[in-house]
Structure 1
Amino acid sequence: MNGSTARAGASRPAWVLRVVVGGAAAAVLAAVAGVVWLAAPAWRLFGAVGAASAVAPSHLYARALVLRRGEAIGLGRVRQELDAAAYREEDGAAVPDVGAFRTVPSGLLVHLRRFPGPQGPEGGGLLDARFASGRVSRLERDGAVVGEASLEPVLLATYASDARTDRRPLAAGALPEPLVHAVLAAEDDAFFSHGGVSLAAIARAAWADLRAGAAVQGGSTLTQQLVKNLALSDERTLTRKLREAALAGLLERRFSKVEILRAYLDTIYLGSHDGVGLIGVGIAARAYFGKDPDQLSLAEAATLAGMIAAPARTSPIAHPGRARARRNWVLRRMAGLGYVPAAEAERAAAAPVETAPTPVAPVRAPYFAGAARLEARVRATVVPLERAGLALLSTLDWRDQEAA
Structure 2
Amino acid sequence: MASFEQESLNYHKARNEFEGNGKIGTLITKPCDTVAELAMAYSPGVAYPCLEIEKDISTAYDYTNKGNLVAVISDGTAVLGLGDIGHLSGKPVMEGKCVLFKAFAHVDAVDIEINTKDTEEIIKTVAAIADTFGGINLEDIAAPKCFEIEERLKEICNVPVFHDDQHGTAVITTAGLINVLEMSGKKAEELKVVVIGAGESGIACANMYKALGVKNITMLDSKGVIHTGRTDLNKQKAAYAIDTEDRTPADAARNADMILGLSGPEQITQDMVRSMADNPIIFACANPIPEIMPDLAKEVRDDLIMGTGRSDFANQVNNVLGFPFIFRGALDVRATKITENMKMAASKALAELAKEDVPDYVKKAHKRDDMSFGPDYIIPSPFDKRLLVFVSSAVAQAAVDDGVAGVTDFNVEDYKAHLQRMADNAK
Considering Cα pairs closer than 8 Å and 6+ residues apart, tell me whether 1 or 2 has the greater RCO: 1
Please give the TM-score of this superposition, normalised by the length of structure 1. Answer: 0.26
Please give the TM-score of this superposition, normalised by the length of structure 2. Answer: 0.25
Bigger Cα Rg:
1
